[in-house]
Amino acid sequence: MGKIKILGQDVASKIAAGEVIERPVSVVKELVENSIDAGSKNIIIEISDGGKECIKVIDDGEGMSAEDVKLAFERHATSKIEKVDDIFNINTLGFRGEALTSIAAVSELLLQTKVRGQSIGTLCKISGGTIKDFGEVATKDGCLIEVRNLFFNTPARLKFLSNKTHESSHIIDLVSRLALGNINISFRLIIDGKEVFYSSGNGNYREVIAKIYGVKLAREVIQIEKGFDGGKIWGYVCPPSFNRGNRSGQTFFVNRRFIKDPGLASCLERAYKTMMPVKRFPIAVIFIDIDNSKVDVNVHPAKMEIKFQNQNQVHQALFHAVNDSLMQHVLIPRETYSEYSRECPKNTTQMSQLNLDREMMPKDVYNSSNFSKIYDSREFSSIKEEFIRETPVIKKEVYLKNNQETRPPSEPDVFSIEVISTGAITKKFEYNKILGQLFNTYIVVEGNADEFYLIDQHAAHERILYELYSNRYTKPPESQTLVTPQVLHLSAREIMLIEYYKDDFIKLGFDISVFGTDSVLVRAVPYVFNKPMDPMTLRDILDQINSNQYAGLPESEKFIISMSCHSAIKAGDVLSQMEMNELIQQLAKTQCPYTCPHGRPTIISMSLEELEKKFKRT
């Protein structure tokens, strides 16, 4: 007798259900996506015990007729496609005809539905894939599906589920993301009798962002938009000061389908390079509208993985859409002295609409020394006034009305700062005068709009050097030959790093060679800002390159960041008025003056209003 047997229908259906329904959140995803496809304007999701005991989804969509209900729970029964070619032109979230069948196979399911205009609806009860009751029922337009005792007939799957809090958190995360992608639909999520999420469905993206990430972020999100061959990328990204320790704040939609794609996440994060600390991640809501024929969504039964026909084109468009938008905005974080409790959304069932309000481094750079000073004291007296470069001319804030700018519907008025300049200088910051140094570390600057800035002199100089080194990394290096070559005695580990990074050192102007087992001969060093670098800086650079701080960065990037850090002026260095002025003007001419290469802020702003509050003047 042969060993190969055909599985019974009961076993096969449970195995197939396991591919689609992994946990309660999978049930919610499939049911809510069906409600969206049905044209619903209001969707209510109720769960208990993390979804293991009960999941109920109620919508006001088009509903199903009795004939459709009979077929809906058959495997591969769907109203979304008819022939093979339709798979490559899918305009709906569901299309495989597996969701309802899979859910019904591993639960006790009740369905009540009625088509608009009909006087009576349809009732269907199923247990473990078998229809137990079918008939007529008085019900509202739309559809109600109640799923109870999930995985009651597959205890092996049930025991691997987490506790109800963990399972509920997955469902909250999913519903909030679906609300971001469908702002014209009202979502209401009720867990164990308590409403935990509500969106009004009024078409305002910032309102939904506020519900999920807070009002402060919603006010400051940056809108992006960029077209490419066959599609468009648009959405909202956060300023670098808003970040998270993981990628949970990143949401991607392709043709309104919520997806997970490591490649898109990587491109998004590269656009923030040096703007955020290492191992911190941006918050973003990205929409990719693309010709359906250029994307394959039929990769996995869960439909959260996709393939682009031209992946590189999409990735490049995403990178430039985010990076270009960041470069066009002032990214100075605003510091406050008190917390604004009034910004916290009220926990009510009905909430009204929230009222939410590059230039490359110049060829001529200023002087610097190995002792972390911008100017050599011997040359300082000879510096002339014309050495100070002219800062960008920035107009006052102007308000742009909705009819003057293209954006998704129902967007509130926002303001931008218009920059007038002969060069392609991005939006920076403007100021009246430099007030001086604070603790020989921070430069205090009075702004033009009832605010003042604190500038970290070390972080600011790091940013300037980083962009300078990045530019020179691809050009012939400028170096200074030492009169007497210097010998550095290093450990075996440091010697290994020297040999590994030797080509990088040479690209930036070092002339070094290893001899013996513990010595390096330095013949030449980089010549930066009219001064040669101290050869002993090599050891500090090696220490920082080898630290876990730069884990995951390209080797050349580690090297440049380390060079910038150890060449920059330090906290505690006393600067003259002219040195501070030159530092700030050179910072304004960088591509991204708001963060150092490590992602720390170079500038923070504080308002006069906050000061007056502190002194009880208001």
Place of tokens 């050495």: 387
Place of tokens 């597959």: 154
- Note whether 176 and 210 are same-domain residues: no
415 closest CA partner among 242, 209, 220, 558: 220
- Note whether 502 and 573 are same-domain residues: yes
Angle at 386 between CA 385 and CA 389, to 5 degrees: 110
- Note whether 169 and 212 are same-domain residues: no
| CA dihedral for 145, 184, 356, 219, sign (positive or negative) | positive
Percent of the chain with pLDDT over 70: 74
Quote the number of domains for the chain: 3
**Tokens in use for 236?**
């909202």
- CATH code for the domain in which residue 221 is found: 3.30.230.10
- Note whether 339 and 318 are same-domain residues: no
- Note whether 112 and 254 are same-domain residues: no
Kindly report the average pLDDT of the chain as a whole number. Answer: 77
- Note whether 605 and 522 are same-domain residues: yes
- 124 versus 396: the higher-pLDDT residue is 124
- Note whether 365 and 498 are same-domain residues: yes
- Note whether 102 and 213 are same-domain residues: no
Range in 91-105, 188-202, 282-296 with the lowest mean pLDDT: 91-105
pLDDT score at 416: 29
pLDDT score at 489: 83
Within a domain: residue 408? no
Q: How many helices (H) and strands (E) does the chain have?
A: 18, 27
- Note whether 614 and 478 are same-domain residues: yes
Within a domain: residue 574? yes
CB atoms closer than 10 angstroms to residue 284: 25
- CATH code for the domain in which residue 465 is found: 3.30.1540.20
Within a domain: residue 131? yes
Range in 20-24, 307-311, 361-365 with the lowest mean pLDDT: 361-365
Within a domain: residue 418? no
pLDDT score at 471: 77
Within a domain: residue 397? no
pLDDT score at 383: 32
- Note whether 287 and 212 are same-domain residues: yes
- Note whether 154 and 217 are same-domain residues: no
- Average confidence (pLDDT) over 439-456: 89
- Note whether 158 and 213 are same-domain residues: no
Within a domain: residue 352? no
- Average confidence (pLDDT) over 555-583: 83
pLDDT score at 616: 82
- CATH code for the domain in which residue 58 is found: 3.30.565.10
Within a domain: residue 117? yes
Quickly state the pLDDT bin for 377 (edges 50, 70, 90): very low
Domain holding 587, by residue range, is 330-346+357-391+428-618
Within a domain: residue 401? no
Tens-place pLDDT, residues 510-558: 899 988 777 899 999 887 655 687 888 787 787 777 666 666 677 677 7
Decide if pLDDT at 114 tops 90: yes
The residues pairing with 464 across neighbouring beta strands, listed in sequence order, are none
Q: 295-296 and 284-290 as β-strands: parallel, antiparallel, unpaired?
A: unpaired
Q: Which of 166, 186, 201 is the last residue of a domain?
A: 201
Decide if pLDDT at 289 tops 50: yes
- Average confidence (pLDDT) over 594-601: 88
279 closest CA partner among 555, 596, 553: 553
